[in-house]
Structure 1
Amino acid sequence: MEPIGGYTLALIWAPEHCARPVPGAESFQCGPIGRGGFVLHGLWPDGQGKSWPQWCTDAAILPPGIITTYHAATPSAQLMQHEWAKHGTCMGITPKAYFKRSSRLFYRIRFPDMVTLAGQTMDAGSFTRAFAAANPGMTSDMVTLNLDRDGWLREVWLCLDTKFRRERCRTPTRGNRIVRIRLPGAAAAA
């Protein structure tokens, strides 16, 4: 296995996913959305350099009990299986330990009022500061945004060290890019 230099906790902004569903993909996030509109994408080990450990060992099908137990954070058996195979197998732990760790990290996150933020014109720096302000001890440089080419928020990525503590991201989000936030039920722009 490649050495791990830290981790990324990836959070999907569900309203954007639901506004632009991928044909044939599971629309797991498009039902009632809890946790402020976010769902857990996954916990990803980061390499020490420019590479990231992925697909480290063969992954058996996840036991139904694990899917049932951790389904609230990542409400898709398909995504859970993918995250375990691609990322979890590189961490040297069991599937149960992987999902327990990622769910605990997810449930510790506090989310800003996304409805209020969506009503504002804001740049990425303002958004990361608002996200950090909702979480005691977090600073805006511990948050990276995944935006589409038009500036719509797709995901929030939180940077963690090797002990799963928040840390400054190696590649912070450029602060001057405009962030657009789609709210639940909003249609995709044509």
Structure 2
Amino acid sequence: MRFAALIAAERLLPAFVALLAIAGCIGEDRAKAASPAANTEAIPLGTGFDFYVLSLSWSPSWCKAYDPQGKTDQCEAGGRRRGLVVHGLWPQYESGYPENCPSQAPRRVPEALGRQYLDLIPSMGLIGHQWRKHGTCSGLGQADYFAVTRIARERLAIPPDLLSTGQSRDLSVSSIEMAFVEINPGMTPQMIAVTCEGRLLDEIRICFDKELNFRICPQVDSRACRRSAVDLPRAQ
């Protein structure tokens, strides 16, 4: 009986080994799918500048100051729950920045292209303005410039305190910076600047290199808000 059992086990062993190999391959494939490196998109590389600033605007501050009646696309009733929205992706020099550069690309952004990015930049007018002022200085065509803008935004995690727009609150500038640093590996306080208009939170500016890795930007950081705390108005 023992001999028969051993023979049966030997016959089953190759099948068992094959099953282990298949399971290992499946596990490896799943690990690759979950790995950020495996899902990294090819990033069109810009030219003619040193680095990018991704500028995120606190939408309730802008609407409170410039459109309290909710007449614009950004502030109308359907968009009032917006918090941080993309203001733009700005090519920068180590000192200063280019703007309104000559470009062979059209000045106008076609609606078919712009509407793909309304979830990030909530108005066609702002999309067109950002292309003309900043995108033309990126060395990229329109489609690539806005594709890089999306990739930059998707690489940035937003702290939970800045996802809620239901109530007004005060936050210290240092706590906002540290909240970003804590949930974005590789970021340091020298790579982020919080700006304000009076007491209101205006923008959060994040510095990226051309391959969209976080990088230091002393001049951008030096222009940060000098207040110790800022007010985040609620969405109206």
Contact 2:48 2:137 survives alignment (8 Å)? no
Contact 2:157 2:184 survives alignment (8 Å)? yes
| Distance (Å, rounded) in 1 between the aligned partners of 2:168 and 2:179 | 12
Classify the secondary structure of the residue corresponding to 1:104: helix
Determine if the alignment matches structure 1 residue 38 to structure 2 residue 89.
no
Counterpart in 1 of 2:184? 135
Residue deviations 1:81-127 (CA, integer Å, cap 9, x gap)? 111011111111110000011012112322112349964552x2222
Contact 2:196 2:225 survives alignment (8 Å)? no
Contact 1:3 1:48 survives alignment (8 Å)? no
Contact 1:125 1:175 survives alignment (8 Å)? no
State the shift of 1:26 in Å.
6.6
Counterpart in 1 of 2:38? none
Counterpart in 2 of 1:183? 234
Contact 1:29 1:39 survives alignment (8 Å)? no
State the shift of 1:143 in Å.
1.0
| Distance (Å, rounded) in 1 between the aligned partners of 2:57 and 2:85 | 5
Counterpart in 2 of 1:160? 208
Q: 1:119 to 1:169 in 2, by over 3 A?
A: same
Classify the secondary structure of the residue corresponding to 1:144: strand
TM-score, with length taken from structure 1: 0.82
Gaps of 5+ in 1: 186-190
| Distance (Å, rounded) in 1 between the aligned partners of 2:137 and 2:171 | 40
Which segment is superposed worse, 22-31 or 173-182? Answer: 22-31
* Higher RCO (C-alpha 8 Å, min separation 6): 1
Q: How many residues align?
A: 180
| Distance (Å, rounded) in 1 between the aligned partners of 2:207 and 2:55 | 9
Determine if the alignment matches structure 1 residue 92 to structure 2 residue 139.
yes
Larger Rg, first or second structure (1 or 2): 2
Which segment is superposed worse, 19-28 or 170-179? Answer: 19-28
CA RMSD of the aligned region, Å?
A: 2.8
Letter of the 2:110 counterpart: P
Out of 147, 155, 158, the position equivalent to 1:111 is 158
| Distance (Å, rounded) in 2 between the aligned partners of 1:157 and 1:125 | 14
Determine if the alignment matches structure 1 residue 15 to structure 2 residue 63.
no
Gaps of 5+ in 2: 1-46
Classify the secondary structure of the residue corresponding to 2:50: strand
Q: 1:141 to 1:100 in 2, by over 3 A?
A: same
State the shift of 1:138 in Å.
2.0
State the shift of 1:178 in Å.
1.9
Q: 1:47 to 1:69 in 2, by over 3 A?
A: same
Out of 151, 171, 180, the position equivalent to 2:199 is 151
Counterpart in 2 of 1:188? none
Q: 1:108 to 1:163 in 2, by over 3 A?
A: closer
TM-score, with length taken from structure 2: 0.67
Q: What is the identity percentage for the equivalent residue pairs of Structure 1 and Structure 2?
A: 29
Classify the secondary structure of the residue corresponding to 2:186: coil
